[in-house]
Structure 1
Amino acid sequence: MTEPRLKFVMCASPADVHRMAYWEWGDADNDKVLVCVHGLTRCGRDFDELAQRLAPHYRVVCPDVAGRGRSDWLIDPSAYTVPQYISDMLTLVARLDVDEVDWVGTSMGGLIGLGLAGALAASALHRPQRGEFGLPQGRTLRLGRVVLNDIGPRLDGQGLARIADYVGRDVSFDTFDEAVAYVQSVSAGFGPHSQALWQRLTRDVFNRQDGRWVKHYDLRLAASMGLQDEAALKAAEFMLWSAYESLASPVLLLRGEQSDVLSKETADQMLARNRRSQLVEFHGVGHAPTLLTDDQIGPIEQFLCA
């Protein structure tokens, strides 16, 4: 299989009903499902190489989170938040009709996975029991193995500021080569890549419109980043640590050695606070490893298919 199937699912926010696109690889009837969720300004096609490698084992599902790629843009930009994305992912998993999914999350995609884990843990803990009138206890969604790519409960402020600086920039280019140069300039943390791979990383996140190359995502994503004050960030960090500690299956932590989002201290703390976790670091890479090359795909394949 050299190309994925493009599908969509209808999701809801307080202001609208929107379509979330997703890319599906492997046997459509396979109940063993891997959900791969991209970073803030990227898209589901980021996982093509990983998905092709894992398609013999999994049905691999790679959504374009709302506001990105082929998915609809939200009417209310303040809804571009992790809780909304969690809701959309639950709708997607319901469409897939499985009780358990493994998860690969890069940056924002990892935060969505942690948020989902926290929501599932809270539901299991606090939901009133209904005896014989309720659904069987086993019929619920479970997170299996989780891969967190250069993300954790505590985020480095320097990296967040760097990302916030370019997210809302309204830039466009006359040529594709200019778009490639721009992606290289704002994505230096991805580490060394061949020119062919930089073109690959650009092709899915710039669209040709009215004769110019423009970003594929809703620039209003930047607005929701500006709504986060220090108190809200501290509360979110507390909840994310609780969610991380609740992960009951093995966890693989990936970190770019030069990351300005996931510090070495936070990664070490993650190892200490969940004994089911293990860490792989990539030399010469910052935020975030692109998972395009064998040296980065290999540890994930070994972890998920062990």
Structure 2
Amino acid sequence: MQEPSLQYLDVGAPAGQKGAPRRLAYWDWPCTSGDTGHVVVCVHGLARQGRDFDTLARALTERARVIAVDVAGRGQSDWLADPMAYQVPTYAADLAALLMTLRAGRPDFVVDWVGTSMGGLIGMAVAAQPALAIRRLVLNDVGPVVQWEALQRIGTYLGRNPSFDSEQAAIDYLVSISATFGPHSAEQWRALSLPLLREREGRWWLHYDPALALPVKALIDMPDQVQAHQIVRDGEATLWALYDAITARTLLLRGQQSDLLTEATAHEMAQRGPKARCVAFDGVGHAPTLVASDQVETVRSFLWAE
């Protein structure tokens, strides 16, 4: 079975901060038909990592090179010295640096983007910059409006640092907090879970920086909830401005039972900015994993269409 190579890019400290250079890791899937000059960049959700895209990558490498990123603090990428820098501007700057590196000496490169949840927010920030030239954009169950209730749900488990006495117990835990992903076989759950785990001294741990939860928890736990909701509304206005600036052809995927991306937001996204075409998957909440064959084919047909 085809496997990717693990690559690293040296990136600097987040803007306005001091610190040593750090490494951004990415999984590089070469195109099986040679260098076509077409790259698909895949970016995962908040507490996930780049190997989430293994199934999709194998389906796309017939025509494109696939780059599946471990965002800062996740997977094989270095952790940030300042936890409050775990936010979209940092991630977008990292990914812009990666795109410029991939394009170095190759101005003909065609770049598409597939972003799940947080990866979609990063994608909006990147695609809104004409110089980064994103051709097609897939936003997976995310838009400019993020529901407060979904943030609260995510906050119940994000950043906890549990350990488990067996690999299977760790997988069972991850399945329990990922039920909204929809139905998966035991083999699929195992494939989605193992890259998130590391064994140390006979126990299994989640392999990401628990401190990446601090920006989310700082917002959710603000004593003045009126102020917290205002911060959220201001953030939505910024995201809508980014979305409206996107010119790339855009596909919006939605879990029919999603608590993060509402049907009303999806409808508005179809009416403004790039006027995304929306495809919903029944029996799925937040967010489709792009493992099921119908989800994979939806993305593939969108990227390959003339």
User: TM-score, length-normalised on structure 1?
Assistant: 0.90
State the Cα RMSD in Å: 1.5
The percent of aligned pairs where both chains have the same amino acid is 46
Distance 1:210 1:30, change over 3 A: farther
Runs (4+) of structure 1 exceeding 4 A deviation are none
Task: Tell me the equivalent position of 2:117.
Answer: 107
Q: Aligned partners of 1:29 and 1:87: how far apart in 2?
A: 26
Q: Aligned partners of 2:234 and 2:64: how far apart in 1?
A: 35
Task: Tell me the equivalent position of 2:182.
Answer: 191
- Among residues 65, 86, 109, which one is paired with 2:92 in the alignment? 86
Task: Tell me the equivalent position of 1:22.
Answer: 26
Question: Which letter does structure 2 place at the counterpart of 1:248?
Answer: T
Q: Aligned partners of 1:65 and 1:217: how far apart in 2?
A: 10
Task: Tell me the equivalent position of 2:69.
Answer: 63
Aligned residue-pair number: 287
The offset of 1:29, in angstroms, is: 4.2
The offset of 1:15, in angstroms, is: 3.3
Q: Is 1:142 matched with 2:146?
A: no
- Kept after mapping to 1: 8 A contact 2:73/2:79: yes
Helix, strand or coil at the partner of 1:181: helix
Q: Is 1:35 matched with 2:34?
A: no
Q: Aligned partners of 1:59 and 1:275: how far apart in 2?
A: 25
Question: Which letter does structure 2 place at the counterpart of 1:236?
Answer: G
The offset of 1:275, in angstroms, is: 5.5
The offset of 1:249, in angstroms, is: 2.2
Task: Tell me the equivalent position of 1:44.
Answer: 50
List aligned pairs for 1:158-169, cutoff 5 A: 158-169=149-160
Task: Tell me the equivalent position of 1:266.
Answer: 265
- Kept after mapping to 1: 8 A contact 2:51/2:192: no
- Kept after mapping to 2: 8 A contact 1:37/1:106: yes
Helix, strand or coil at the partner of 1:166: coil
Q: Is 1:237 matched with 2:240?
A: no
Q: Aligned partners of 1:30 and 1:80: how far apart in 2?
A: 34
- Kept after mapping to 2: 8 A contact 1:249/1:276: no
User: TM-score, length-normalised on structure 2?
Assistant: 0.90
CA offsets per residue over residues 120-158 of structure 1, 9 Å max, x none? Answer: 15xxxxxxxxxxxxxxxxxx3211100000000001111
- Kept after mapping to 2: 8 A contact 1:15/1:76: no
- Among residues 205, 214, 218, which one is paired with 2:196 in the alignment? 205
CA offsets per residue over residues 183-211 of structure 1, 9 Å max, x none? Answer: 11100100111111111111011111121
5+ residue gaps, structure 1: 122-139
5+ residue gaps, structure 2: 220-227
